[in-house]
Amino acid sequence: MKYIFFCYNTLTLCRAIKYARDVYGLKNSTIVYSDFVSDIPKRILDDFHVKYIESDLLNIRFKGLKLHIKSVIVTNKIWKVINGELSEKENNVLIVFRDNEVQETTFISRINKLTKKKVEIWIMEEGSGLYAFRRAEVRYRNLKKFIYTFAGCSLESLADNFTQGMNPQIQKVVCTKPREFLIKRNNVVVEQMIDIFTPEFNNYLFRLVGQQGIGNSIKYDYVFLTQPFHDFRENYKRLSEIHEVLLPIVFDILRKKGKTVIKLHPREQYDYFKFCGNGVDMPDRFIQQLPFECLMQTFGNPQMISMFSSACINIKTNKPSIFLGQLFKIPGAESLFDDEFYKANNIIPCKTIDEFEKALEL
């Protein structure tokens, strides 16, 4: 069996490396990476013979028409690499981390229509989107439809109700919470994900960014995991105004309670540096490259605070995580997950500042 991973950020790359190295075997695995949101250390490219397709940080540097055109150009480049890696002599598995975006739906569609090679399609969890019952509204649908059609890309990603994990071509789901995914869909094989961020693997990642190890960092009471809102172009002004009002209040409360570290999302564009100082820190850019999943213990197991970060789902901790998406009026935040999901994952969704302050552990 040959296993081909398509990765687009540091977290998906880490999961692919771990499975290729420890489960499927490096000789049987190929990792295809495109820098949608972040570049990767050259040593990873060399250590794991990663097939690297440049996208010029597609999801950060491009917007509007340029983004959609660049997206299909990159999609076709990636497909050529994936198709060239598919074996004609043995069975193949294409492992994706999304199954409802234009890249992945195009790969899946072309495998079904254009190749006679034997290929199974699996999805591996990237984050909380795998468990969501609702998808953010598809924007610029008509423009995307025109561009995708012209470029020969799949239109399946334009369906409003097409949440992650629902692609009918998926034959296996590898995730951290099989029971919770089966509530959403129970007609596929669901497999428990192995532990990715072990101390040995974390130390390897630390050395990649020039750090000595995981035991010398400052310990924090709280971590604020940022999530970009610039994607919501129609609501950008309103969301920016809400952030300007609420974030100073949030960080003032955190300063009174303890010590906080800010972990930036790879696509973050909002200026969080202005909140640093007096008990609020931000790691250097090398540490910021790493997924928070490998930093949790390094930072002393802080309580996690975010709009709705996947790290709060991925990381096992006895402290309740706090979601602020509804407080900050992020579109769709109120209906992403149901009450049972919050309860099962020890998450407190806060709608007011008072609820946020009460949810903080001392």
Cα separation, 51 vs 30, whole angstroms? 8
pLDDT the model gives residue 41 = 79
Q: What is the mean pLDDT of residues 228-243?
A: 82
pLDDT the model gives residue 211 = 59
**How buried is residue 267: exposed, middle or buried, by Cβ count under 10 Å (0-12/13-18/19+)?**
middle
Nearest-10 crossing angle of helices 199-208, 10-19:
130
Q: What is the mean pLDDT of residues 14-38?
A: 94
Do 264 and 272 form a contact (C-beta atoms < 8 A)? yes
Sign of CA dihedral 315, 360, 236, 288: negative
Topology at the third CATH level for domain 212-359? Rossmann fold (3.40.50)
Place of tokens 């996208």: 55
Do 212-359 and 2-192 fall under one CATH topology?
yes
How close are the terminal C-alpha atoms of the chain, in Å? 50
- For the chain, the structural domain boundaries read 2-192, 212-359
pLDDT the model gives residue 303 = 96
Topology at the third CATH level for domain 2-192? Rossmann fold (3.40.50)
Q: What is the mean pLDDT of residues 291-296?
A: 89
DSSP label of 190: E
Do 125 and 99 form a contact (C-beta atoms < 8 A)? no
Among the residues of the chain, which ranges form H helices?
Answer: 10-19, 42-48, 58-61, 64-85, 102-114, 141-151, 178-184, 199-208, 236-257, 285-288, 311-314, 339-344, 353-359
Closest by CA to 141, choosing from 161, 163, 158, is 158
Instruction: Give the tens place of pLDDT for each residue, 46-81.
Output: 889 999 999 988 887 888 899 999 999 999 999 999
